[in-house]
Copies of this chain bind each other. A is one copy, B any other.
Amino acid sequence: MKTIETIGEIRSLLGKAPRSVGLVPTMGFLHKGHMTLVREAREQNKTVVVSLFVNPSQFEPHEDYDSYPRDYHSDLQKLKTAGVDLVFAPAVEELYPQGFDTSLDVGHIGTLLEGKYRPNHFNGVGVVVCKLLSIIRPEKTYFGQKDAQQCAVVQKLNSDLNLGTEIVIIPTVREKDGLAISSRNIYLSHKERKDATLLYKSLKLASEMWRQSIFDVIIIKKQMTSLVEKSSLINIEYISVSNPVTLKELNLLSRGALVSIAARVGKARLIDNITLGD
């Protein structure tokens, strides 16, 4: 496994690398979720590239860019064990040199759900994804379903700008008690960690209600809210039932609908989702 910090060097190595190339873009601090993406990429491609880059442009000014957890050496160890070929770990100045002045607007889809709480987030994701795809030019690029809106945005961007990769979405990896694995779970206290399981429980409840032919989204959101509000430590930001591609809100539950929730739990902001019928 080679670790590369410059665009020039990774381009040069990829010029000679066996195709197909699979890219797993990450912000590092790798957990079981990331490693599931890496494993899938390893199975499907001759060359696997993992990027480690905490992308400043996708954090809002008040967010946790500075304190976002990093563990570079442990990440490299895990990636080596997983049989990754190339790790791309550029400095911020390599991707955003002085004078960098281009921005991207991913359009309406980036203003929904998370976009209401993180208005610049997806445009920042868009820029870094556009850059990484242009540098690496992978046949396949792997994202986790946990960030459902990110998946939808990246699919749209890949299509709108003809970036020419295939976006592969990998199901959410969960702790035994159902909590979706996330780098930000480390922000949770013991009690918060316990209560955070209510998020997934509320999603399962929606799924259960749908199976019992309760389709009215208003009723379902009310039930989900009641369940989550059993904990005084959780503040719901939104519960949404939407089309998984356009993220347009639905009035009735149906197979394939995306049910998602975002909440503040102590210092952490957590998101989770399920697709009905999966």
Contacts and interface: CB of A to CB of B under 8 A. Distances in A.
A257 to B, nearest CB: 20
Interface in A89-120: 95, 100-109
A195 to B, nearest CB: 38
Interface in A131-180: 131, 134-135, 137, 156-157, 160-164
26 contacts: A7-B162, A11-B164, A100-B160, A101-B106, A101-B107, A101-B108, A101-B109, A101-B156, A102-B104, A102-B105, A102-B126, A102-B157, A102-B161, A103-B105, A103-B107, A104-B104, A104-B105, A130-B130, A130-B161, A131-B161, A134-B134, A134-B161, A134-B163, A135-B162, A135-B164, A137-B164
Interface residues of A, number: 27
A142 B141 CA distance: 30
Nearest to A133: B134
A135 B134 CA distance: 11
A43 B161 CA distance: 29
A91 to B, nearest CB: 14
Contacts of A101: 106-109, 156, 160
Interface in A61-111: 95, 100-109
Contacts of A137: 137, 164
B162 A134 contact: yes
A160 B94 CA distance: 10
A148 B159 CA distance: 30
Contacts of A106: 101-102
Contacts of A103: 104-105, 107
A126 B102 CA distance: 10
A168 to B, nearest CB: 19
Contacts of A130: 130, 161
Interface in A7-63: 7, 11
Nearest to A107: B101
A271 to B, nearest CB: 23
Interface string A222-259: 00000000000000000000000000000000000000
Contacts of A105: 102-105
A15 to B, nearest CB: 10
Nearest to A157: B102
Nearest to A158: B134
Contact of A156 (B102, B126, B134): B102
A139 to B, nearest CB: 11
